[in-house]
Structure 1
Amino acid sequence: MLTEQPLTDDTSYGDRRQRERSARPTTQVRTLDAMFTRAARRGPARLAVHEELGHLTYGRAETLATQWASALVRSGVQLGDPVIVHCDDHRQSLVAQLAILKAGGVCVPVSREIERPGPERIAAVSGAQAVLCSASTKAAWNSCGRLSLALDDAGTWKKVSALRPDPALPRSAPTDAAYLLISRENGEETSGQLVDHRAWQFALAARIRQAGTAERTVAVCQPPTGALTLSAMWWACASGGTLVPRALAPGGMDTAVFSPDEYARVLETAATASRPAGLRAIVLVGGPFPPDLVERHFTTLPTTRLLAEFAPAGGVMPWTAQELSPPSRSGLPDAGVGSPVPHVHVHIVDPEGHPVPPGRTGEICATGPALPFDSIGIRALDRESLPGGGTLLRSGHLGRWRTDGRVEITA
């Protein structure tokens, strides 16, 4: 149990990313762990995570992450090495991710419930040799031959807490990979997308410009390593706010991050309960939203802002964003998914990958530094070469450019 007391409670990317780091120009963009450290210094007593089992302050998370990062470095984790995160507690998950990033590693978050041969496939495709987990999830990795460290194991913490913090920390850089986001882990194929610190910072900056800061609370209803949990967690950390994992109920929120399907269930609950006070903004992340969801939102929560980020292909990095308005008298809102966010270039292409003229239908694809920079074990149709060089991510959705500069989903 991670509380405010001590915790009783065949591919490596290091060499390649080191070469890329030295070849790229310097940037003022912070790493995610440096962003968290700054928030911890400004408000060490502020809550970073508040859930039913307990809470975790920024200062405590920073201290714990530094100790675990030192343990990773001493256990042989090199710059750019992937490390799996498999925790059943949001507080443990945050500390594990911060520790990996401080050590210069790449976070590989996996679902809380995975069935065999899921662990073996994830370990193989990621190349990870180490796992930060909970005692309840450690058994899943016993047969994989990986170094597994349970954050809530008293014996392990006794050894980790005795270590002197490594003087080389933190070791990450803005253009280093921060995450390997695994997809289709329970299907026939396991693949993943590599996202660097800079892309996350671009995405966070775009959201803050659109939705504002989240200096109070950000609610989310997914497990500790769920895609939307990562999105909500870093929005809260960037704002010095608090991540609040909770059930699908609208009470006690300031801001929240949901998928369209999750939010439909939230509205069902809200329709039969008293309207929550102080709910400032809802951000929908994922695929296209049902148009009638907007009507239901403004009927139930007329004073709460509703924003949407189109983040297809199983990712959390938005391609387009928009703020939604109450439906006009002419009917429900259209099928637009907004305008491209900064540092993302949206392309509408034909089956051969060639751009089509405005108004013509094609597949919605995207490139840009605010998106994953590489793919591991990905199918060729998900990522292709563009005519003239470069690569693009494919969404699997058909759409077209509208005359107002927004993207419209057609199928």
Structure 2
Amino acid sequence: MTPITVPTLVDRHAEITPDAVALWHPDGTRLTYARLRDRTDDLARVLAARGVRRETPVGIVVPRGVDAVVLMLAVLKCGGYCVPLDPEHPESHRRRAIADSGASLVLTGIPDRSVVEERDTLPEPPLPGNAAYLVYTSGSTGVPKGVVATHDSVANLVTAPDLGIEPGDRVLHYAPLAFDASVFELWGALARGATVAVAPPGTLGTRDLLDFMESASVTVAWLTAGLFHELVTVEKRLPTSLRMLFAGGDTVRADVVRRAVALSPGLRLVNGYGPTECTTFTTLQHGLEELVTEDEHTVPIGRPLPRVATHVLDERLDPVPDGVIGQLYVSGANLARGYHGRPGVTAERFVPLPGGARMYRTGDLVRRRPDGVLEFHGRVDRQVKIRGFRVEPGELEARLGEHPEIRAAAAVGAPDGDGGTRLVAYLVAENAEAGLDLDGVRSWLAERVPPYLVPSAFLQLPELPLTANGKVDTAALPAPDSAGVSRGQRAPRTPAEKLVAEIWCEVLGVEEVGMDDNFFELGGDSLRMNRVAAALRKATGRPVALADLLLAETAGELARSLGDD
């Protein structure tokens, strides 16, 4: 019997439906399953000649696109495993991840076939227990943790009947490759004979994303909860081609689900829950469109996938009765191997079950209903979700502590007013009299961490409040007055400046905006910038694009780009 691995799941469609389109890109690229098999087989021989074998880590630093998918599948065909890294993340962050992974080969594009000798080394096909990918998550000690998932865990995810993807579907690929949601998008589609609709590289505005999904006739998509909320509440539109939408990565709001049902009757809505350590999805809750009545405020996270078990336990690891909140532990085929090169941390989070099996301690608090469905009820620790990415405040505190002018730092997650969470950093200067250049600290940090780890607000304190045992008293930290702190610089004068200031105040929740203020330094992010774009389009009647707004560093520059009429 042929071992079930990612390449075998994908390549079987080259025999069943060789002319079906596997990869679709708006630049005109259409790669059939037969062509995808041939290209990746050829490239796998090139990589094998370069030393890629089973359990060889290979860095992938390539923008989202057809070439990225071809590279990853070719790596898997050699038995190697992918270490995808976002080209838009700071170089220092990528270097640290590459060094930690041990990847001696880092691909930034398709390798040249001509450098390989005639006596090509044959690829060494993977086994189910071999690693398939390594992605990094935030670490509480300040060091990101590399999660290693196997072919078996990926195969269990993408073959699950509840996934619902069928041949003929167009599945959106928009998640960054370094985000494990891309595992569902790519292999969930290609293992089931569907077409991957590859979005253009980079961050798209919500309107641009919707337009792409319409033009690509996307039928299945996964969106972070925040992005799903934004499409429904700001753009007030969902693609007409969409038949099934997965949302997750954070709490899905029941009121937004109700509005989505009104926008798109007949759309199947699914809540997908799962830590990175459990290969994208642990549980699924289908039929949200039928569950969220006016009396519902929360959305359940559902039941586990096949070959996956969920355990709701107390502090002694004893099961709690249905209806009682406990910590969620997960066991079964979706579990990752553990954390790369960190046996101690792996042992802390992957704990033994009676009989020798392993279970992962999620840190999430849940309650099991009598019908077996799970409800999410928060965290046991400080971990937060920022735009779908898991963030340990300890990692941010450690990086801020490396700044030569910072004596102490604390970071917390705070409600953002839209049902999500934002990061706030509290800093104590090494030199109290000189103080800190907070804009400089932000710029310094942005060169070292991914964008989602940059706080929306920085507050300077004379000292951090401490508890009786000497720990930071997070409950005593002052709340920022607003999403950020406006410095009230040059006041708006022209009609365009006044319009920008009014919209920024409304979107960011600040009382005033100066024309030299920076949107992101006031607590903005890409989702809120989408709201600005939508508001400007409505006010001016012009086709304002997110990309245009991102080029304007200050409110004044944005106003000048609009003109003064």
Q: How would you bin the TM-score normalised by the shorter chain?
A: 0.7 to 0.9
Gaps of 5+ in 2: 379-565
What residue in structure 2 maps to residue 264 of structure 1?
A: 229
Residue correspondence of structure 1 range 84-95 to structure 2 within 5 A: 84-95=59-70
Pair 91,225 (structure 1): closer, same or farther in 2 beyond 3 Å: farther
SS of residue matched to 2:330: strand
Instruction: Give the structure-2-normalised TM-score.
Output: 0.59
What residue in structure 2 maps to residue 346 of structure 1?
A: 310
Contact 1:56 1:91 survives alignment (8 Å): no
Q: Indicate whether 1:361 and 2:328 are aligned.
A: no
Contact 2:283 2:305 survives alignment (8 Å): yes
CA distance in 2, matches of 1:284, 1:163: 48
CA distance in 2, matches of 1:42, 1:186: 47
Task: Give the deviation of 1:406 after TM superposition.
Answer: 1.2
CA distance in 1, matches of 2:365, 2:284: 17
Q: Indicate whether 1:294 and 2:257 are aligned.
A: yes
SS of residue matched to 1:336: coil
Q: Which one of the candidate residues 82, 87, 103 is aligned to 1:107?
A: 82
Q: Indicate whether 1:176 and 2:130 are aligned.
A: yes
Residue correspondence of structure 1 range 75-90 to structure 2 within 5 A: 75-90=50-65
Q: Indicate whether 1:237 and 2:190 are aligned.
A: yes
Q: Which one of the candidate residues 375, 381, 396 is aligned to 1:408?
A: 375
Task: Give the deviation of 1:373 after TM superposition.
Answer: 2.5
Task: Give the deviation of 1:346 after TM superposition.
Answer: 0.9
CA RMSD in angstroms comes to 2.8
Pair 398,365 (structure 1): closer, same or farther in 2 beyond 3 Å: same
Residue correspondence of structure 1 range 244-393 to structure 2 within 5 A: 244-246=197-199, 247=204, 248-249=209-210, 250-251=213-214, 252-268=217-233, 271=236, 276-313=239-276, 316-323=279-286, 324-327=288-291, 329-332=293-296, 334-376=298-340, 379=345, 383-386=349-352, 388=354, 389-393=356-360
Task: Give the deviation of 1:210 after TM superposition.
Answer: 4.5
Task: Give the deviation of 1:291 after TM superposition.
Answer: 1.9
CA distance in 1, matches of 2:38, 2:2: 25
Identity %: 25
What residue in structure 2 maps to residue 219 of structure 1?
A: 172
Gaps of 5+ in 1: 1-26, 135-150
SS of residue matched to 1:363: strand
CA distance in 2, matches of 1:124, 1:354: 40
Contact 1:111 1:223 survives alignment (8 Å): yes
Contact 1:47 1:55 survives alignment (8 Å): no
Instruction: Give the structure-1-normalised TM-score.
Output: 0.79
CA distance in 2, matches of 1:381, 1:79: 24
Pair 253,79 (structure 1): closer, same or farther in 2 beyond 3 Å: closer
Deviation digits for residues 170-210 of structure 1 (CA, Å, limit 9, x no counterpart): 5111222211222239993121222111211111122x434
Contact 1:295 1:326 survives alignment (8 Å): no
Residue correspondence of structure 1 range 47-86 to structure 2 within 5 A: 47-57=21-31, 58-86=33-61
Deviation digits for residues 21-64 of structure 1 (CA, Å, limit 9, x no counterpart): xxxxxx76521111221112333333222223342412332222
Task: Give the deviation of 1:232 after TM superposition.
Answer: 0.8
Contact 1:286 1:315 survives alignment (8 Å): no
Higher RCO structure, 1 or 2 (CA under 8 Å, sep 6+) = 1
State the one-letter code of the partner of 1:159: V
Task: Give the deviation of 1:298 after TM superposition.
Answer: 0.5
Task: Give the deviation of 1:262 after TM superposition.
Answer: 1.8
Pair 382,86 (structure 1): closer, same or farther in 2 beyond 3 Å: farther
State the one-letter code of the partner of 2:86: S
Contact 1:181 1:315 survives alignment (8 Å): no
Contact 2:367 2:375 survives alignment (8 Å): yes
Deviation digits for residues 230-285 of structure 1 (CA, Å, limit 9, x no counterpart): 211112102222111335215232111212112122224652x5x64332111224
Task: Give the deviation of 1:372 after TM superposition.
Answer: 0.9
Task: Give the deviation of 1:342 after TM superposition.
Answer: 1.0
Please say which of residues 378-387 and 364-373 is displaced more in the overlay: 378-387
CA distance in 1, matches of 2:178, 2:103: 17
State the one-letter code of the partner of 2:243: R
CA distance in 2, matches of 1:53, 1:158: 26
Pair 387,88 (structure 1): closer, same or farther in 2 beyond 3 Å: closer
Please say which of residues 384-393 and 100-109 is displaced more in the overlay: 384-393
CA distance in 2, matches of 1:231, 1:309: 11
Contact 1:253 1:279 survives alignment (8 Å): yes
Task: Give the deviation of 1:306 after TM superposition.
Answer: 0.7
SS of residue matched to 1:345: strand
State the one-letter code of the partner of 1:184: S
SS of residue matched to 1:104: coil
Q: Which one of the candidate residues 92, 104, 110 is aligned to 1:129?
A: 104
CA distance in 2, matches of 1:169, 1:117: 32
